[in-house]
Amino acid sequence: MTSLIPEGCPIVAVEDDRTGTSLETLKRAIMDNLFYLQARFPSVASRNDFYMALSYTVRDRLLQRWISTAETYLQQGSRTVCYFSAEFLLGPHLGNNLINLGIRQEVEEAVNELGLDIEELLNQEEEPGLGNGGLGRLAACYLDSMATLEIPSFGYGIRYEFGIFDQEIRDGWQVEVTDRWLRYGNPWEIPRPEVRMPVKFGGHTRSYTDSDGHYRVIWDAHHVVEGVAYDTPILGYRVNTANTLRLWRAEAVESFDFQAFNTGNYYGAVRDKITSENITKVLYPNDEPLQGKELRLSQQYFFSSSSLQDMIRIYLQHNPDLSKFHQKFTVQLNDTHPAISVAELMRLLVDDHHLDWNTAWNVTQHTFAYTNHTLLPEALEKWPIALFQYLLPRHLEIIFEINQRFLDQVRLHYPGQSDPLARLSIIDESGERYVRMANLACVGSYAINGVAALHTELLKATVLHDFYQLYPERFSNKTNGVTPRRWVVLSNPGLTGLISEQIGDGWIKDLDQLGQLEPLANDHHFRACWGKTKHDNKVALAEHIQAKTGIIVDPNSLFDIQVKRIHEYKRQHLNVLHIITLYQQIKDNPHLDITPRTFIFGGKAAPGYFTAKLMIKLITAVGDVVNRDPDVAGRLKVVFLPDYNVTFGQRVYPAADLSEQISTAGLEASGTGNMKFSMNGALTIGTLDGANVEIREEVGAENFFLFGLTTPEVQALGAKGYQPWDYIQSNPQLKRVLDLIASGHFSHGDTNLFQPLLSGLWNQDKYYLMADYQSYIDCQQQVSQAYQNREQWLAMSILNTARMGKFSSDRSIQDYCRDIWHVSPVIIKLNGGYQ
Ligand code: GPU
């Protein structure tokens, strides 16, 4: 490989202290960073100072790989994937980078010799919570897999100053606290103040004909904001590839005009500056559905525009001809949040780079691919035309033009029919006019996919049916996956050691190798070791629970866990109905012999989602009564663990016996927590929804607890007119459970508190809890029985892990590479830095 450093330049060898991994070198490097980066000496250094010093030491070892990677990509001009996502829920970096670099042991020793504790330092890291839940975490797993598979790729997103709020529980209610994750600095990001992109907002457009007779449009914006790049290296597992996650921060610009307009109004000018910088202040904490706010659309446009401008800049460094842009880059749109990119790329190509419309459209349409992540109709993004006109006037024109040309084509398919046209149109004209972002994404993309087999089928049959009719060849399924590096190796070292002892460690990069564990499911000794690992993890979680909540739980009880965003369609309240059912059975018969269980919940509610917040209150209220009732003692415990996040997930999945995946069939697009649980040997109780269907296929029906209506059954019931009352009146047990809540038993006699939840169930029950209740209770009874047969349970647990190969995000990424992106790995050789 030829070096980029011009000949004759002095060769600077990277110091060993920045790359070496011997014990002495590591110790010296940590102390060096403590002095020269934190400006501290050991006797006054805080734990955070040591965390920072250690992180810089690890970062140095990444940078060598990062630079080699960037250099190689530049030289080879390799085809590159850009993953556009408004959310990247990365979780803490330090532990993961130690694993991927393969220096966890050495670093632990070095840290010990310095008189420090590695666990304490790891716990010091504030996780970057730049996402809400599944969608953002999927993006993070995909970055890990793309790096591990040596795929040239960039992540592009937003550097929120405040990520997802921290959740506190006060008097049983959720209270939101600002996530000031950058307060003590972020050693993992490298600011790139010289990489800045102007992003325009508002104003007007005007047109003219240039000297060559071309029609041109100029957008005179109301104001301009600059996107400034902040880069985070994303290292693959035991490879030299370190890709880039580039997140944009909004900065104000002070243009000449800006100053002139504000003469004498210094205060006003500064206030405007602050307003521009608001764009990247805070992550919207709504999962699905999203909030239709102006600032949210500004965020989406801001990061889409900055990213596309950056890609064009990179492209033009080596290729003059933008008509081939799509050969170099492909963009995956993570849901519709970046779908405005379709119009923005057209604008950049046509207005700024003077490509003709057809050429530009060919490039655009061959650049984007769109992933849909939800079937909930209320979560499909649409923006009022008036807002678009005000914020992005040029884009509205471009969208109208795209739409007109598109509808002309559609007319050829459906001569004389207006209904399909109205449904396919990018503009919703049924009432107030809106721009439909999913339609824009479908029209502007060469590939469209769902995230689990069932979800893709339902997309084709329902929300995207008309597009499927028109463009069947664009549709495919790409079942989600999760990275086994973070979700097994990092979070479950005990299990990792046990598995690798038996089958070697090849499974970490090739998860299908877990299949070699299958015969061991029959091995009594192996089962015992498996059981001990699980037990150790449960003890550790029990200690954590006690430290955080004061609640004492028994590691010998069945750990029954539901962790995910709080949402009616995910049905945490169905889980609560089961708890109350068991509670009543014990109250009826205090000597009842039941399998002791600990119910553990975690998850945040969107701050404006009243019912979800009431669901949290219900869980904590039931816990308060059940945990204190002496009749129940030793049999049931209910814990709501505050502030569920990636860090806490890493403690939870390894300690679970039972994974609750109980959404109404047809509503959870995929789920990914379901995969993390199963990989760590939990059994699933679940509906035939999302990826549960495929998990059950893989692990075998006999190793999965299935209950509830199927999607067609839900649809049929809905069509014939669902009456929850039919189920309540015919089921005395169910009625008693609802009545007990209504009586104020869990609310200090307050009969009003839970009324909104209860009347929802009685009157409408949009998510079919009443219809699924008995099936769920019966299935839970089977779970309890199965848990009594420890040997059998352990065998099922081993088989769950052994059969999870399919759900590695490596498999997902390979599918995307093969079927959609058409990109191949590029092997990175370490060139030792600047040589
Ligand atoms: N999902 Br849309 C989110 O987490 N947030 C969103 O705004 C949207 C979807 C989730 C789906 O609910 C979940 O089923 C899926 O596994 C995940 O995206 C990743 O595809």
For residue 707, what is the domain's CATH number?
3.40.50.2000
- The answer to whether residue 503 is domain-embedded is no
* CB 374 near ligand 1, within 6 Å: yes
- The answer to whether residue 496 is domain-embedded is no
As a whole number of angstroms, the distance between CA 565 and CA 592 comes to: 34
Residues near 356 by beta carbon (within 8 Å), at least 6 away in sequence: 350
Beta strands in 494-603 (DSSP E): 558-563, 597-602
* CB 620 near ligand 1, within 6 Å: no
Tens-digit pLDDT profile for residues 323-380: 999 999 999 999 999 999 999 999 999 999 999 999 999 999 999 999 999 999 888 9
- The answer to whether residue 82 is domain-embedded is yes
pTM of the model: 0.96
Instruction: Give residue for tokens 């999913």.
Output: 438
**Residue located nearest, by CA, to atom 9 of ligand 1:** 373
On average, the pLDDT of the chain sits at 95
Tokens of 361: 């459209």
- For residues 829 and 784, membership in a common domain is answered with no
Tens-digit pLDDT profile for residues 149-198: 999 999 999 999 999 999 999 999 999 999 999 999 999 999 999 999 99
Domain containing 763 equals 520-806
Task: State the pLDDT at residue 259.
Answer: 58
- For residues 630 and 766, membership in a common domain is answered with yes
- The answer to whether residue 494 is domain-embedded is no
Task: State the pLDDT at residue 2.
Answer: 44
Q: What is the mean pLDDT of residues 593-621?
A: 98
In the chain, % of residues over pLDDT 90: 93
Is the pLDDT confidence value at 761 over 50? yes
Q: What is the mean pLDDT of residues 642-660?
A: 98
Is the pLDDT confidence value at 289 over 80? no
Task: State the pLDDT at residue 835.
Answer: 35
Is the pLDDT confidence value at 831 over 90? no
- The answer to whether residue 460 is domain-embedded is yes
As a whole number of angstroms, the distance between CA 297 and CA 292 comes to: 8
* CB 285 near ligand 1, within 6 Å: no
- The answer to whether residue 497 is domain-embedded is no
- For residues 723 and 793, membership in a common domain is answered with yes
- For residues 345 and 377, membership in a common domain is answered with yes
Single out the residue of 713, 672, 715, 718 nearest to residue 692, CA to CA: 672
Tell how far the Cα of 369 is from the centroid of ligand 1, in angstroms. 17
Single out the residue of 637, 629, 627, 680 nearest to residue 657, CA to CA: 680
Is the pLDDT confidence value at 529 over 90? yes
Is the pLDDT confidence value at 454 over 50? yes
In the chain, % of residues over pLDDT 70: 96
Single out the residue of 625, 579, 640, 626 nearest to residue 750, CA to CA: 625
Tell how far the Cα of 374 is from the centroid of ligand 1, in angstroms. 6
In total, how many domains does the chain have? Answer: 3
- For residues 690 and 830, membership in a common domain is answered with no
pLDDT band at residue 834 under the 50/70/90 scheme: very low
Q: Which helix (H) or strand (E) holds 484?
A: helix 484-484
- For residues 746 and 827, membership in a common domain is answered with no
Q: What is the mean pLDDT of residues 483-512?
A: 98
- For residues 530 and 459, membership in a common domain is answered with no
Q: 3-class DSSP state for residue 94?
A: helix
Task: State the pLDDT at residue 793.
Answer: 98
Q: What is the mean pLDDT of residues 393-409?
A: 98
- The answer to whether residue 504 is domain-embedded is no
Ligand 1 atom nearest to CA at 455: 14
Single out the residue of 641, 570, 635, 657 nearest to residue 600, CA to CA: 641
Active site residues: 373, 564-565, 570, 672, 676
- For residues 599 and 642, membership in a common domain is answered with yes
Give 125's Cβ-side CA count (13 Å radius).
27
Ligand 1 atom nearest to CA at 374: 2
Tens-digit pLDDT profile for residues 54-86: 999 999 999 999 999 999 999 999 999 999 999
Confidence check on the interface: ipTM exceeds 0.90, yes or no: yes
Buried/exposed code over 130-157 (b: 16+ C-beta within 10 A; e: otherwise): bbbbbbbbbbbbbbbbbbbbbbbbbbbb
Task: State the pLDDT at residue 6.
Answer: 63
- For residues 298 and 219, membership in a common domain is answered with yes
Residues near 411 by beta carbon (within 8 Å), at least 6 away in sequence: 421
- For residues 50 and 134, membership in a common domain is answered with no
* CB 690 near ligand 1, within 6 Å: yes
Tell how far the Cα of 452 is from the centroid of ligand 1, in angstroms. 11
- The answer to whether residue 152 is domain-embedded is yes
pLDDT band at residue 238 under the 50/70/90 scheme: very high
Task: State the pLDDT at residue 832.
Answer: 53
- For residues 529 and 411, membership in a common domain is answered with no
* CB 335 near ligand 1, within 6 Å: yes
- Among the listed ranges 290-299, 457-466, 770-779, which one has the minimum average pLDDT value? 290-299
Ligand 1 atom nearest to CA at 565: 4
Give me the phi and psi of 248, to 5 degrees please: -105, 135
**Residue located nearest, by CA, to atom 19 of ligand 1:** 135
Tell how far the Cα of 135 is from the centroid of ligand 1, in angstroms. 4
pLDDT band at residue 5 under the 50/70/90 scheme: low
Task: State the pLDDT at residue 231.
Answer: 98
Question: Measuring CA to CA, how many Å separate 97 from each of 38, 136, 232?
Answer: 21, 19, 12
Tens-digit pLDDT profile for residues 807-826: 999 999 999 999 999 999 99
- For residues 265 and 296, membership in a common domain is answered with yes
Tens-digit pLDDT profile for residues 243-267: 999 999 999 987 545 555 556 777 7
Task: State the pLDDT at residue 379.
Answer: 86
Which residues sit opposite 382 in a β-bridge? 436
Q: What is the mean pLDDT of residues 304-330?
A: 98
Task: State the pLDDT at residue 260.
Answer: 52
As a whole number of angstroms, the distance between CA 549 and CA 169 comes to: 10
Is the pLDDT confidence value at 270 over 80? no
Q: What is the mean pLDDT of residues 484-507?
A: 98
